[in-house]
Structure 1
Amino acid sequence: MEGKELISVLESIQRERGISQSTLLEGIREALFSAYKKKYSRPPRDLQVVLDEKKDQLKVFVKKLVVKNVKNPAVEISMEDALKINPDVKINDEVEVEVNPLDFSRIAASTGKYVMMQQIVEREKDKLYEEFKKKEGSLISGTVRYRTDKFILVDLGKLEGIIPERETLPSRGYKQGERVLVYVMRVTREPKGPHIVLSQTHPNFLRRLFEMEVPEIEEGIVKIRQIKREPGKRAKVVVESRDERIDPVGACVGLRGSRIKAILREIGPEKVDIIKYSSDPAEFIKNALKPAEIYQVKVDPDKKEAKVIVKDEQLSLAIGANGENVKLAAKLTGWQIDIRSVGQIERESAFLRSIPGVGEKTLVSLRESGFLTLKDILRGGVNNLARIEGIGPKMAEKIFKRAKELMEK
């Protein structure tokens, strides 16, 4: 291939594949290095490739050792030939010699061409890897190619990525040709090219959706403190505002729900509760159990336990389907949460009224101290009951004994 033709090919590859000229020349250098070694059974000394665009020439140079008697022309040059290049040269000096790649023989040239193409392919893989590695942790759009039992293949344009089955939304069909917005979980190098793992169940998938739809989050005015999800079912997002004038929940919902609706379109039927953060544990637990309306919250900071009271009609909403609402609230707050309805407490604590000496004041003291049910009394024990104002050791013993009798029935 003539120099002019080679330069044209290099420019074409550079333009179409986006590979820099220096990268292409390095590929040619490695290809010629391989061809030279195959021809002479020995690698060259410091092979260099120089592209002279003005003269449309590709020049190849190697360094050779000046010797009296040449035994290996691959790395040695006679004194007579060396003097033609540099008149000041001496024995054991090195001189740079221009070589003709075509002298490496057709087989060697063929090997060199193969290596060069391999180098170009590898450089292209590296370029794609670097491009998508930068997208790790962000959202990208793709099109569903097909679905298997283990993953969904997504066309991302230049490459394809997979959504493992565990990272898919249970309620979504993922039809062929469907557009999907996905979170780039991981990008790794593989022999066949970059391996891209995607997700729609990762908490950061939801975080990035909020960042995309809510300008106040992007600007740092509203902060997402944490996210807990039961993918496809329910998610809770804790937010706070750094500006007292901005309501963090209202900012995330948007005018007439415009922002949250845009987010919900990407996650299907999954319900999203936006929770306002509070440094007060009782208030935070109350908020975390939304959409249920909470009547009262009693907290034990030492045990990180919270007893929550709701009206009877709010009990199922507070607990949620399969307990998902209270489970997510517990994960968010880091507290153990026990929910009881007003009716349950009244029924379970009715036995206290039958104990001689227990009046309304005692009942109030018990409730204020967190002893709301039979289980609370048995779990607390006689000693803890005796510490409550207005209840001595004898009364504590009576209450505990009566609770134990009723529990054993």
Structure 2
Amino acid sequence: MDTSVNRPELLLVADAVAREKQIDREEVLEAMEQAIQKAGRAKYGHEKDIRAVIDRKSGDVRLSRWTEIVDTVETEDTQIAVAIAKKFAPEKEVGDFIVDPLPPIDFGRIAAQTAKQVIVQRVREYERAKQFNEFKDRVGEIINGVVKRTEYGNLMVDLGRAEALLRRDECIPRENLKNGDRVRAYIFDVREEPRGPQIFLSRTHPGFLAKLFAQEVPEIYDGIIEIKAVARDPGSRAKMAVISRDASIDPVGACVGMRGSRVQAVVAELQGEKIDIIPWSPNVATFVVNALAPAEVSKVVMDEEAGRVEVVVPDSQLSLAIGRRGQNVRLASQLTRWDIDILTEAEESERRQEEFRRKTGLFVEALDVDDMIAGLLVQEGFETVDDLVTTPLEEVATIEGFDENVATELSRRAATYLERQAAEQEEKRVALGVTDDIAAIEAFSAKDLITLGEKGVKTLDDLADLAGDELVEILGDDVINEEQANEIIMAARAHWFEGEDGNAA
């Protein structure tokens, strides 16, 4: 009996589908084989291992049943005991297959329809996989497309061999794109989802502006000028920081172009969005000053631990530095990745005077000295009474108007004040009922212990019952962070588990 059927037209169909869908011919033939296998199982039994092979040259279709040789049969439809198999196939071993040829299938209407559905589904899967593989490596590129349709304000963009989604919030405000309009956008994400690869576009992404400049400015494309940072308020204003690797090339001038030709081309694409191009600097203070342009800056004070920068500007420059609705300072903050606080010179002077008065008052009260001596200590950089105790006497004696006797007396008074303060805090801690177990934790200061007692955290169990964020909320994030809080709480819970090993034993 002939167990194969010659169907050269299958190869012609496979070639046609592969050309039309722009996928590999082999993938189409594999889809056909799966369709024939499904039809074969429908005829000979779904539980059987039926396999089909299409000859890649002649188009012959061979159908066969595969049975695995095993020691112990668990599924009779797909397995056979080795003892039985040895009777008619002595050369076979456990793990081998016995292949029985089957007669070709005469496709009926239902079988043909089923086979067609399988082929269409598999071809669609191959097509989607090809699309995903093609676009997954193109994230960060600009692509051109045509608006195909609108769905709930979101735009479906035809990219030729795929569709992409341009969400309403990724469009530039007040931009009106209609069906049939050509659009340029930035590919910012490609995801493989059950319904196929989803390509997400954006016209508000900072990378879109950077890529537009790369298209307009050859020096950026060639790597001579580098875009270090971009911040955007889409449709309104943007800031871009650039640096040149060639000292002879001005990065800002190259991006602006002759009579602004290069920057205007980008502005036109972004619907009139104003763009400030500034030189990047590795010095944070300089970079912040540049980022706040066109406002002039008088002074910059940095707090690296908090990631904040205090910027002092002339009174006349305040509105320019802040910008309309805070836009200028917000974009500068995004660009530099530092929190920026704007102060006028008058505000900064007033605050400095208030700080001076506060520190002076602290020394007057603690050391029982007059304003002049307290003021001299503050001017020399002493901020707390602790500073005075820990500073060597000879260093204190070098302050103008001081001598060794004055330094010794001030140090003695400072130590006495701290001892008295520690005793008062200890007394208050005991009065609040905060136990010695908590007081023994080195991470807590005397002030922290009082704060805990006032919030009802008085025993080790009270502390152990807290979550890390609750402890941070009680003491303040300027005193402790969540990681430190979690470590303290876990240490406080240790006594809950003491003796567990012994009990288990």
TM-score range, shorter chain: 0.7 to 0.9
Counterpart of 2:29? 25
| 2:199 match | 196
1:377 is matched with 353
Against the structure 1 CA distance between its residues 2 and 376, is the aligned structure 2 distance closer, same or farther, given a 3 Å change threshold?
A: farther
**Secondary structure class of the residue paired with 1:59:** strand
Q: How big is the shift at 1:36?
A: 1.5
1:168 positional shift: 1.5
Amino acid at match of 1:8: L
Q: Distance in 1 between matches of 2:264 and 2:235?
A: 15
- Offset at 1:219? 2.3
SS at match of 2:249: coil
Pair 1:305–1:383, CA change in 2 (3 A): farther
CA positional deviation for 1:199: 0.9
Aligned equivalents of 1:339 and 1:244: distance in 2?
35
**AA at the equivalent of 1:260:** V
Aligned twin of 1:143: 146
**2:252 alignment partner, SS class:** helix
- Give, in whole Å, the separation in 2 of the partners of 1:179 and 1:284: 38
Structure 1 residue 288, shift from structure 2 partner? 0.7
Q: Give the conservation status (yes or no) of the 8 Å contact 2:214–2:221.
A: yes
Partner of 2:298: 296
- Relative contact order higher in (CA < 8 Å, ≥ 6 apart): 1
How far apart are residue 230 of structure 1 and its match?
1.3
Moved runs in structure 1, 4+ residues, more than 6 A? 73-77, 384-387, 394-397
Q: Is the 8 A contact 1:150 1:164 kept in 2?
A: yes
Q: Name the structure 2 match of 1:62.
A: 64
Q: TM-score, normalised by structure 1?
A: 0.74
The aligned runs of 1:270-281 (5 Å cut-off) are 270-281=273-284
Matched, 1:8 2:45: no
C-alpha distance 273-48 of structure 1, shift in aligned 2 (>3 A): same
Residue 212 of structure 1 deviates from its aligned partner by 2.1
Structure 1 residues 291-344: Cα deviation after superposition (integer angstroms, max 9, x where no partner): 33x1522324556433332472x443322111101121123231423143xxxx
Distance in structure 2 (CA, Å) of the matches to 1:124 and 1:114: 15
Residue 98 of structure 1 deviates from its aligned partner by: 4.4
In structure 2, distance between residues paired with 1:218 and 1:183: 16
Any idea what SS the aligned residue of 2:138 has?
coil
User: Where does residue 160 of structure 1 map in the other structure?
Assistant: 163
Match of 1:322 in 2: 325
From 39, 45, 49, the equivalent of 2:43 is 39
Deviations 1:365-396 (A, max 9, x none): xxxxxx74324433565328999xxx955669
Report the CA distance shift for 1:163/1:42 in structure 2 as closer, same or farther (over 3 A).
closer
Q: Which amino acid aligns with 1:296?
A: S
Q: Is the 8 A contact 1:61 1:96 kept in 2?
A: no
Contact (CA 8 Å) 1:168, 1:201: kept in 2 or not?
Answer: yes
C-alpha contact (below 8 Å) 1:383/1:393 kept by paired residues? no
Distance 1:107 1:170, change over 3 A: closer
Residues 66 and 90 of structure 1 are in contact (CA less than 8 Å); yes or no, is this contact kept in structure 2?
Answer: no
Residues 95 and 288 (structure 1), Cα distance of their counterparts in 2 relative to 1, 3 Å cut:
same
Contact 2:238 2:274 in 1 (8 A): yes
Equivalent residues of 1:153, 1:160 under 8 A apart = yes
Partners of 2:329 and 2:340 within 8 A in 1: no
Deviation at 1:267, TM superposition (A): 0.9
| Cα pair distance change 1:379/1:104, threshold 3 Å | farther
Which AA in structure 2 matches 1:57?
Answer: G
Once residues 384 and 327 of structure 1 are traced to their aligned partners in structure 2, the CA distance between those partners, rounded to angstroms, is 36
Instruction: Tell me if the contact between 1:32 and 1:101 (Cα under 8 Å) persists in the aligned partners.
Output: no
SS at match of 1:102: coil
Distance 1:172 1:105, change over 3 A: closer
After superposition, residues 7-406 of structure 1 pair within 5 angstroms as: 7-45=11-49, 47-53=51-57, 56-64=58-66, 89-90=89-90, 94-103=97-106, 107-292=110-295, 294=296, 296-301=298-303, 304-310=308-314, 312=316, 314-333=317-336, 334-340=338-344, 345=345, 348=346, 372-378=348-354, 381-383=357-359, 392=372
1:74–1:18 CA distance, 2 compared to 1 (3 A): farther
> Could you tell me how far apart the structure 1 residues matched to 2:161 and 2:68 are?
51
**Which amino acid is the alignment partner of residue 383 of structure 1?**
K
How far 1:59 moved relative to its partner?
2.7
Mapped partners of 2:231, 2:360: distance in 1: 35
Matched to 2:141, the amino acid is S
Aligned-pair RMSD on alpha carbons? Answer: 3.6
Over 3 Å counting, the alpha-carbon distance change for 1:316 and 1:37 in structure 2 is: same
Paired with 2:334 and 2:132, the residues of 1 have a C-alpha distance of: 36
Separation in structure 1 between the aligned mates of residue 297 and residue 92 of structure 2, nearest angstrom: 95
**Change in 2 beyond 3 A, CA 1:393/1:257:** farther
CA deviation after TM superposition for structure 1 residue 2, in Å: 5.8
TM-score (norm 2): 0.61
For 1:35 and 1:96, the matched residues in 2 are separated by: 18
CA distance in 2, matches of 1:107, 1:221: 65
Offset of 1:215 from its aligned partner? 2.3
Aligned length: 349
